[in-house]
Chain A
Amino acid sequence: MDETKSIVREFKVCNQYGIHARPAALLVKAAGKFAAEILIGKKGNEVSAKSIMGLLTIDGHKGATLCVQTKGEDAEEAMAELAELFENNFFEE
């Protein structure tokens, strides 16, 4: 039986420039702190949130809805940390 925690949440991209290099770097750094597997993207087109080149391909423009899934021991903590970035618009306008 698989006891691994798995959380799924949806986020809307609200900052003007979307997930370009700077926000992508923030996401990668945040995700890199956790052991959990973290996937992000539009449904059926998810990439690892630990890959900066991957993050640039998920089409995270302003207004896009992205699905984030965290899997593993520290899934909750990882989700909380990523949520903070989305909710603060990656500290951009």
Chain B
Amino acid sequence: MSIKLKELLENGRDRLSLELIWGEEHLNRVVEEKAINRPGLALTGFFQYFAQRRLQVFGLAEFTYLKSLDSAERELRLRGIFEKNIPGIIIARNRNPLPELRALAEEYCIPLFRTAMITSRFINESTLLIEELTAPRGRIQGTMLEIMGIGVLLQGKAGIGKSETALSLIERGYSLVADDVTEVVRDSRGRVMAYANELTRYHMEIRGVGIVHVPSLFGVAAIRRESELDLVIELHSYKNDADEERTGITPGEIEVLDVKFPLYSLPVSPGRDMANIVEAAALNHKLKILGHDAAKELDEKVIDTFLRKAGA
């Protein structure tokens, strides 16, 4: 991962109450680790291990320690840290930088920031923010729905009926997350969260009707801001030799942002109520998560019966 200080400052102004003290021209410096370091040990002269690729936060402890030293010593200790080419320094509790700190920042061209937060809170919030800003993200073609807590992405060629199926599901009381284009982001726990593009959020296009605003038509219960992706359902036109799953014991797999998800390939044919089938697939998936795999259990029962008969 890597993130420029400029990006961190822009996104951190509100969330981290971050402001720049010095170093406007050096905001292209890059942070390569999302954790934040408190340089207390390094200030005492211990450099056998020093997380120099991280942002360094000066809190109350660091300040109190530095103030216990005379100016020459303070300059010497601080120089040791600057020599390690750290990406940037943040001062907590909105303190003014000590003169030595400011001078060294200018000498080594390392930006100096300030936050109103106390150190521990800043460390938590900034780690979260950096994680968010550097999370892998992408945009995939497909309509995202939430069915009883299961995040379902509907995929398929244009005109196959994704939006129409989604509409039927919304009428049944499930929620729309995104129509046709879904933004995805992988969080630090490896979950893939799906949400809609800011601009087109909660709108969908129904062929022959045009663009509709879902919450206006169906109420706020019909929408959800984001949902965790659980399974992908692909609609395809019915072919007799299609390689679709017949038992559900080994569903297909699809990767989204390098995370594997079960993929169900559903043939669409006249008279098939797709909403009903997508609903069944989602509920069956929920059952599997709860540890009840109907297909597997039936298979085990069948095998068990056959083994007894074969042995007899």
Interface core residue of A19, A21, A28, A33 (most chain B CB under 10 Å): A21
Q: In the complex the two chains form, is B247's CB within 8 Å of A21's CB?
A: yes
How many chain B residues touch the partner (CB < 8 A)? Answer: 16
A18 close to B (CB within 8 Å): yes
Residues of A56-85 at the interface with B, using a CB-CB cut-off of 8 Å, are 56, 59-64
Q: In the complex the two chains form, is B246's CB within 8 Å of A61's CB?
A: no
Q: In the complex the two chains form, is B306's CB within 8 Å of A25's CB?
A: no
Contact check: which of A25, A29, A56, A63 meets B302 at CB < 8 Å? A56
Residue numbers in B under 8 Å from A60 (CB-CB): 306
| Given known A18-B303, A33-B240, contact A61–B309 (CB-CB < 8 A) | yes
Cα-based distance from A23 to B138 in the complex (angstroms):
39
A17 close to B (CB within 8 Å): yes
Contact check: which of B240, B243, B306 meets A17 at CB < 8 Å? B306
Contact check: which of B246, B295, B299, B305 meets A29 at CB < 8 Å? B246
Cα-based distance from A17 to B303 in the complex (angstroms):
6
Residue numbers in A under 8 Å from B302 (CB-CB): 18, 20-21, 56
Residue numbers in A under 8 Å from B306 (CB-CB): 17-20, 59-62
Q: In the complex the two chains form, is A52's CB within 8 Å of B246's CB?
A: yes
Which chain B residue shows the least CB distance to A34? B240
B289 close to A (CB within 8 Å): no
How many whole Å from A21's CB to the nearest CB in chain B? 4
Residue numbers in B under 8 Å from A63 (CB-CB): 309-310
| Given known A28-B246, A32-B240, A33-B240, contact A21–B295 (CB-CB < 8 A) | yes
Interface core residue of A16, A19, A25 (most chain B CB under 10 Å): A25
Cα-based distance from A29 to B241 in the complex (angstroms):
8
How many whole Å from B176's CB to the nearest CB in chain A? 33
A38 close to B (CB within 8 Å): no
Which chain B residue shows the least CB distance to A32? B240
Q: In the complex the two chains form, is A25's CB within 8 Å of B307's CB?
A: no
Interface core residue of B249, B305, B310 (most chain A CB under 10 Å): B310
How many whole Å from A70's CB to the nearest CB in chain B? 17
Cα-based distance from A92 to B246 in the complex (angstroms):
18
How many whole Å from A38's CB to the nearest CB in chain B? 14
B298 close to A (CB within 8 Å): yes
Interface core residue of B246, B249, B309 (most chain A CB under 10 Å): B246
Residue numbers in A under 8 Å from B249 (CB-CB): 21-22
Q: In the complex the two chains form, is A59's CB within 8 Å of B309's CB?
A: yes
Residues of B271-312 at the interface with A, using a CB-CB cut-off of 8 Å, are 295, 298-299, 302-303, 305-307, 309-310
Residue numbers in A under 8 Å from B246 (CB-CB): 24-25, 28-29, 52
12 CB contacts below 8 A, A to B, read A17-B303, A17-B306, A18-B307, A20-B302, A21-B302, A22-B299, A24-B246, A25-B247, A29-B243, A33-B240, A56-B298, A61-B310
